[in-house]
Structure 1
Amino acid sequence: MRPDKLSIHDLFQRERRYTVPLYQRAYVWNEGEQWEPLWDDIQRQAEECLATDAGVPRRTHFLGAVVLNVQKIVGGSVARSEVIDGQQRLTTLQLFIGALRDFLATIQSTYTNKVRRLTINQDEPFGSESSFKVWPTNADRDLFRSVMMSGSPDSLLKQHGLIQKSELPRLIGAYCYFYHQIDAFVAKSGADQAAQDRQILGLFQALRSGLQLVVIELEDNDDPQIIFETLNARGQPLLPSDLIRNTIFHQASVDPTHASDEKYADGLYDRFWHPFDNDRLDTPINGEDRYWHVQERQGRLSRPRIDLFIFHFLVMQTGRELAIGHIFQEFRDWRDISAQPLESLLHELRRYSAIFRQLMSPTSDDRPSMFARRLRALDTSTVYPFLLYILGLPVDLLTKSDRDQIICDLESWFIRRLVCQLTNKNYNRFFVSLLSKVKQTTLSAPVALDDSETNNNLKTCTSQVIVNTVRDELLRSTEATARWPKDDEFEASWLEKDIYAKSRPDRAVMLLRAINAKMMDNKNETVILPDNLSVEHILPQQGALLDYPYPDESISIGADAPEIRRARIIHTIGNLTLLTVALNSAISNGPFIDKRPKIASNSALRLNTIFQDQDRNKWSEIDIFDRGRDLFTYAKIIWPHRGP
């Protein structure tokens, strides 16, 4: 390796392209952690340049290291270096220089051309890939080109239909941030052109002499992938999925069977990995607009969706319990013993990612999508590897109706255990074991070669065997860690155990929405429920005893004191319903005699038709038990027990 110390100006004034390999991650730097500190460094160095007669700061500022792999020059093309480490830094510096260039053009500064030369290779066709000093990884190329050719923030935002106050894609956000910081820095000098040029000179001198990088160029015997993995902990840590992508596409780029095809790795990326980096959300979530990089909570930690997908995919493939903190190592170990061709692996990742996306963000009304929505409230992800496998089976092995039967059985097992407050401690082990048994069933199934009646019967038999395998496993255990509660245990818990918890009201919402849907029949209009319905305690948690007196002792339930009975029953399903937030706030702790008619006149839910009874003018523990039993008749149908 050959190290050198270069200023930002010296690095970019050369006719050279700094290209980021497609196997590296997309741009991830943000304002708080990187843009603002970088701007502080630039501004401080600019002010130091202005404070000296020579226009040079007393000491230079080191911005970090960049590792480059110099590529051989082909024909008359511009010299090219592959960025092994430091791509986030180089991309950000180009965005800053691009913003400075466009600002200078706007005020017609004499420094415009000097700065422009730091952003383009002038001998290359303008706007071509080779004309850009920095050319980012595939996921960012279109947006980067758009930013660097926009001319101004207003033009850029208009082009993409964005407004300044919205959450911007990071490349656009960085450009706009630096443009406005430059504008404010120059504006401090007032409207005088000479004074403005002096401020600009400070920025230019900071690039020429105040800000430096250590640039390390690899030599022929240096392995760029090993060096990249060694350095990946610097800066913002790489995601496990970043390292996996790097490994996959580095293997593709050095595949000897495709040595003559320079675009082989790019082609694989475009066909299979591009959506992981480029599927965008209309509305960013916490500043992230890439679907697969949105953080999802799993247990106590939050992780990007792509990391979660690859983790569950690996559990499905290996049939083993894996540590989510070791995804990359597990992937590498699995690939070392796998004979699956690279293209086949990428095809499988793409296929199963579509299934996983429907589990995470269901858009259909089919049975798996309904279960996926309810799983979000259950906050149980250990079943995902099993679901990926089941939902990925071809109809020749598992028919749609049998697939839905498995989903129904699984949901019943989960819901009954939730209501009965049974532990989920060993769910990961249970579902890995279940996955293994179903895999054995499918791998040993005879193959149907045609559509003859015999083979169609063979397909049906195999499908039913899978259903029975799953059901037998759900029924097998009598232990608290895995048993499937029967009707008597389910009903007792339904009537007596708290289903509402302030920390997880979504679980009560999920159950009540399911009951309401089951209560609908062909005589009812179709009502699409809003997403933000809230749980209402009919007998309020803070209700006055005058408004909600204890029931007559002669007909009271249980032997406990009245206040203990009330505390025991107030969070059970019989006392809960769903209302809009506005209606809930309006009636929450009021007397039942006022609450009932307001619910009756404002709610269209079948769940609330009980409150249309004008003769019902009180609500107590007796009513809660009676309503709980009524709702349980629907619960038994939605979540049936399939055993003896």
Structure 2
Amino acid sequence: MKPEKLSVQELFSRERRFIIPLFQRAYVWNQEEQWEPLWEDISRRAHAHLQRLGLPAEGKVRTHFLGAVVLNVANVMGRGISRSDVIDGQQRLTTLQLFLAALRDMSGELGADADDIRLFKRLTRNPDCEEGSEELFKVWPTNSDREVFSQVMSAGSPAALEARFPENTGGRPRMVQAYLFFARAIAEFIRSAEHASSAPDRFLSLVSALKESLQLIVIELEEGDDPQVIFETLNARGQPLLPSDLIRNYVFMRIGDAEGNRLYQTYWSHFDTEQVMVPGSDGESRFWHVEERQGRLVRPRIDLFIFHYLTMHTEDDIRIGHLFKEFRDWRDANSTSNEDFLKDLKTASHHFARLIAPKGNSRLEVFASRLRALDTSTVHPLLLFLASVEGQGIPVAEVDQIIVDLESYMVRRFICWQTPKNYNRFFLSLLTKVKQAYAARAKADDTALADLPTVAEVVRTELLRSQEASAFWPSDERFREGWLNNPVYVSSRADRSAMILRALGDAMTTSRNEQLDLSGPVTVEHLLPQKGAIEDYPYLEISLPQNHDEASWRKVLVNTVGNLTLLTGANNTAASNHAFPVKRAKIVEHSDLRLNAWLRTDTRDSWNETDILARGEELFHFALKIWPRPA
């Protein structure tokens, strides 16, 4: 490797293109963590030069190190401009170009002299290149960022760029935000009255900082250096890349440019470009990069997908913290061609999207939406496999039966307060048995097929087999006991009881009822309020379970299914802690849910523990239909 210390001006004054390979991740830097610190570095050096204007040469400003860039010089055919592939430092190079573009566009407006304006243009564009040509830009980002980068670099002014990307609920792309941040910062710096300096002098101080004080270490790889090894080593420390970034790099770095671009566009680009209607909590608008919580972990969807995909194929208990290494070992041992692997990965990603963001009403997607409330993802590798063979070896009806059994198993265990801590090993074992049963049936002729169990039979047998507390499938009797007596509402995870109530509401709806969309926000309401006044809800003289007094037993029952219903947030507030006749009237007036239809004809003036248990029994009949279990 050949290291070289270059100023920002020296780096970008050369007629050269810095190409970000397609395997690199998209632009991810943000204001708080990167843009503001970078601007502080630039502005401090510029202020130092401003203070030394007119002083002797010995008053030189000390230099500041902006980081390292690793390049792999590529061969260029014919008269093309020199090209270097960026192995490391792409975020830094891209951000510097966005800063320089803002500086270039603001220079004429804010009073820079002609020489400075020419310099800023030369630092952002290669000369003698036509407008619209890729070779025009010094830096050329990875595929998913190119369109936005081109528009930012050619906008001409902040106002023009804001017109191209108006502020809306989706937010502006990060490159647009970066340019506008630097444009505002530069304008404030140039217009500042500090040191009573003129605008040309303040531009000169920025030029001096770029020429002398802001430096990078540029490392060029030599023949025999392995870009893959260097890439992984450089990203092993500091702010780590996502495992999916390393995996993309690993896959595409081994494929030639032309073939790699074709495979990327055909099989991978959707991971980088597919958008969501509403951005995630961090402003992320790319579907596969929105973060999801699974257990105690928060990970981007693409990492979760590859984790479950790899688990499906290996049937091993993989640790997501070692995802890249696990993937690399698996792929090295796998003889599938790059195209076949990427094709399978893309197909599986469509199935996983149905699990992580279900939109349809298939039995798989209904289960997936309920799984989100249970916060259990260990069954996803099994579901991925079932989705991949649905209708192709296993009839759709059989897959639906498997889904019903799996959901019944998990919901019943949740209601009965059974731990999910061993689900990981249990569902891995079940996945192995399902794949073996599927493979055996796929190989068997018609005569042998009749003697083999179906995949659904294998699943049901495994779910019924264990009587241990860590794995048993609760019977109807155990299910009823938990249903009537176990609190399912917990304020910190109200979504779990809401899931149960939504399922009950769906089961109550018939072809004669209007189909209401319950996908919007609803809240869980307690018919006997958690903080209801004793004069409105007096205690009854009833036989109490052992170790309970009237208050403690009520505290248990108010959070059981028999005392819960669903309301909109506004209706919930209106009903609140009122006496039961008032509460009932407000629910009847505003709620159209089938779950609350019984209140229209109910005439009682009170609601107590006996009523809770009776309603629990009524709802339990629907629960048995939704979550059945073979005798």
Q: TM-score category by the smaller chain?
A: over 0.9
Alpha-carbon offset, residue 282 of structure 1: 3.5
The amino acid that maps onto 1:360 is: I
Q: Secondary structure at the match of 1:281?
A: coil
Of 569, 579, 585, the residue aligned with 1:591 is 579
Q: Which amino acid aligns with 1:233?
A: A
Asked whether 1:435 is paired with 2:431, we answer: yes
Structure 2 counterpart of 1:479, from 451, 455, 468 = 468
What fraction of aligned residue pairs are identical, expressed as a percent?
49
Matched, 1:570 2:565: no
> Secondary structure of 2:441's match?
coil
Match of 1:284 in 2: 279
1:24/1:245 contact within 8 Å kept: yes
Aligned to 1:271: 266
| 1:187-586 to 2 correspondences below 5 Å | 187-189=191-193, 195-253=198-256, 262-285=257-280, 286-446=282-442, 465-551=454-540, 553=541, 555-556=542-543, 558=545, 560-586=548-574
TM-score, normalized by length of structure 1? Answer: 0.93
How far the C-alpha of 1:358 sits from its partner, in A, is 0.9
Indicate conservation of the 8 Å contact 1:574/1:628, yes or no. Answer: yes
Q: Secondary structure of the residue that 2:336 maps to in structure 1?
A: coil
Aligned amino acid, residue 12 of structure 1: F
Q: CA deviation at 1:530?
A: 4.8
Quick one: structure 1 residues 135 and 235, their matched pair in 2 at CA, closer, same or farther if it must change by over 3 Å?
farther
One-letter code of the match for 1:181? A
TM-score, normalised to structure 2, is 0.95
Deviations 1:8-47 (A, max 9, x none): 0110011000111111111111111110000000111111
The partner residue of 1:621 within 580, 604, 609 is: 609
* Equivalent AA in structure 1 for residue 277 of structure 2: D
Matched residue, 1:72:
75
1:322-375 deviation digits (Å, cap 9, x = unpaired): 111100110111112111111111001100000001111111111111111101
Aligned partner of residue 288 in structure 1, secondary structure: coil
Q: Which residue of the partner structure matches residue 256 of structure 1?
A: none
Which letter maps to 1:284? P
* 2:85 matches 1:89: no
Relative to structure 1, is the Cα distance of residues 126 and 487 closer, same or farther in structure 2, using a 3 angstrom cutoff?
same
- Unpaired stretches in structure 1, ≥5 consecutive residues: 254-261, 449-453
Q: Does the Cα contact within 8 Å between 1:273 and 1:350 map onto a contact in 2?
A: yes
Query: Which range moves more in the overlay, 43-52 or 394-403?
Result: 394-403
Q: CA deviation at 1:106?
A: 3.6
Kindly tell me the number of residue pairs found equivalent between the two proteins: 623
Q: 2:119 maps to what in 1?
A: 114
User: Could you tell me how far apart the structure 1 residues matched to 2:214 and 2:238 are?
Assistant: 18
Post-superposition offset of 1:556: 4.9
The question of whether the paired residues in 2 share the 8 Å contact of 1:538 and 1:577 is answered with yes
Deviation per residue, 1:399-453 (Å, 9 max, x gap): 11111111111111110000001010110101110010011111122459xxxxx
* Kept in 1: contact 2:574–2:586 (CA 8 A): no
SS in 2 for 1:66: strand
Look up the SS of the partner of 2:492 in the other structure: coil
RMSD: 2.0
Distance 1:32 1:108 in 2: 29
What letter is aligned with 1:16? R
Equivalent position SS for 2:359: coil
**Unpaired segments of 5 or more residues in structure 2?**
none
Written as runs of structure 1 = structure 2, the 5 A alignment for 1:117-128 is 117-128=122-133
Question: SS at 2:264's partner residue?
Answer: helix
- Deviation (angstroms), 1:521: 1.3
Deviation at 1:558, TM superposition (A): 4.1
CA shift at 1:523, angstroms?
A: 2.1
2:187 pairs, out of 180, 183, 188, with 183
Distance 2:595 2:450 in 1: 39
Q: What are the superposed Cα offsets for residues 256-298 of structure 1, whole Å, 9 maximum, x if unpaired?
A: xxxxxx4111111111110111112233211211111111112
- The 1-side partners of 2:275 and 2:161 are apart by 18
CA distance in 2, matches of 1:161, 1:623: 56
Aligned to 1:136: 141
> 1:155 Cα shift?
2.2
**How far apart, in 2, do the equivalents of 1:537 and 1:282 lie?**
33
Name the aligned partner's letter for residue 406 of structure 1: I
Q: Secondary structure at the match of 2:71?
A: strand
CA distance change for structure 1 residues 610 and 3 in 2, over 3 Å: closer, same or farther? same
Structure 1 residues 460 and 93: CA distance shift in structure 2, 3 A: farther
**Hey, what's the Cα distance between the residues in 1 that align with 2:449 and 2:610?**
52
Deviation at 1:306, TM superposition (A): 0.6
